Amino acid sequence: MAEAIFRGAFALELAGGAEPGHAALPPEQAGELAIRVGRDLAALVEGVSDLDLVLAAAHFDPAESLRPGWPLHQRLQELHARAPGRDQGPRVLAFGADAEGGVPMPFQADPALAGGGLRVLPFVLVGAADTVSAVAEALEEKLLALGMAQPDTALAAQDGFAARVEHARYLSVHDLAAMMAMQYDNQGLAPLWNLVEAALLAPHAVEWLDQGAEPLLRLENGEVRMALFDPAGWCMHYQGGEGDCDRLQRVYEHFLARQRQFAAVLEAHGIPVLFVHCDGQQDARAQLQ
């Protein structure tokens, strides 16, 4: 029988901006947390208890969970396929730190992305395709409104990670993406989200960011090509070569800062950025193709 998966995240909203004291849970605590997560989800939607639950008992920045190919969820799926007990009924599996407290590479969060107020624990539900389809549809409808974790689950996460957890809730990856889109909009990054979303949901699509004074970007095959202009080329492309380009130096410096910001966001989402020098004399869009 064909299997399918549902991708989700157990999201921890931290209080006061304090980072968790532990990156991942040891085996016993990881298993206990996973059991509580499975119980919470099963109470929300009928059919969850018929599926395998696989939880990463390690926390990540949301951007690390929203990367093309869903690498963290893919790793959980691979570990599930190798775990013993297949065909012996639904299983609850958790992967975090080893018995010595070390965190294996697939579940080591990027230290450059630490310090955010929201940390997520990826999970997958795995089982028969028809059951997963029905469960996924119901979870997509319910999680955003009703997906708060039970108090003992939130407390287990708080104690296990040595974190100050203000809210703990369950999200589908689509819910998480929608939350990130709103956050980027509030930060003035809405134009960039279209490229991130395309990389996640339509990996073979070609997507452009070509809006006014914004950096010029082209996404194709999971890579972004960004037009890189020197001052004269920037003035030609964005100002038509008109005006006193020397007096626009501060505007150009702001443009360079915006490019660096865009590149950092894309790289946080695992999307490589290739800078392509454009001289402003030729069609920059053509040079990015």
Provide mean pLDDT across the span 27-47: 97
Q: What percent of the chain has pLDDT over 70?
A: 97
Q: Are 162 and 25 in contact (CB under 8 A)?
A: no
- The H or E element spanning position 128 is strand 118-128
Q: Are 21 and 29 in contact (CB under 8 A)?
A: no
pLDDT tens figures, 105-137: 888 999 999 888 999 999 999 999 999 999 999
Q: Indicate the pLDDT class of residue 242, thresholds 50, 70 and 90.
A: low
**Among 58, 162, 54, 161, which residue's Cα sits nearest to residue 107?**
58
Distance (Å, whole) CA 60 – CA 260: 23
Q: Are 138 and 6 in contact (CB under 8 A)?
A: no
Distance (Å, whole) CA 44 – CA 36: 13
Distance (Å, whole) CA 107 – CA 216: 34
pTM score, whole prediction: 0.93
Select the CATH number that applies to the domain covering 187-287 from these four: 1.20.1630, 3.30.750, 3.30.70, 1.10.1200: 3.30.750
pLDDT tens figures, 136-165: 999 999 999 999 999 999 999 999 999 999
Q: Indicate the pLDDT class of residue 239, thresholds 50, 70 and 90.
A: confident
- By residue count, the chain amounts to 289
Residue 11 reports pLDDT greater than 90: yes
Round the average pLDDT of the chain to a whole number and report it.
92
Residue pointed to by tokens 């004399």: 281
Bridge partners of residue 220, in order along the sequence: 223
pLDDT at position 233 is 86
Q: Are 131 and 20 in contact (CB under 8 A)?
A: no
Q: Indicate the pLDDT class of residue 30, thresholds 50, 70 and 90.
A: very high
Provide mean pLDDT across the span 77-101: 89
Local structure of 116: helix, strand or coil:
coil
Domain residue ranges of the chain, discontinuous segments joined by + = 3-176, 187-287
Distance (Å, whole) CA 280 – CA 289: 15
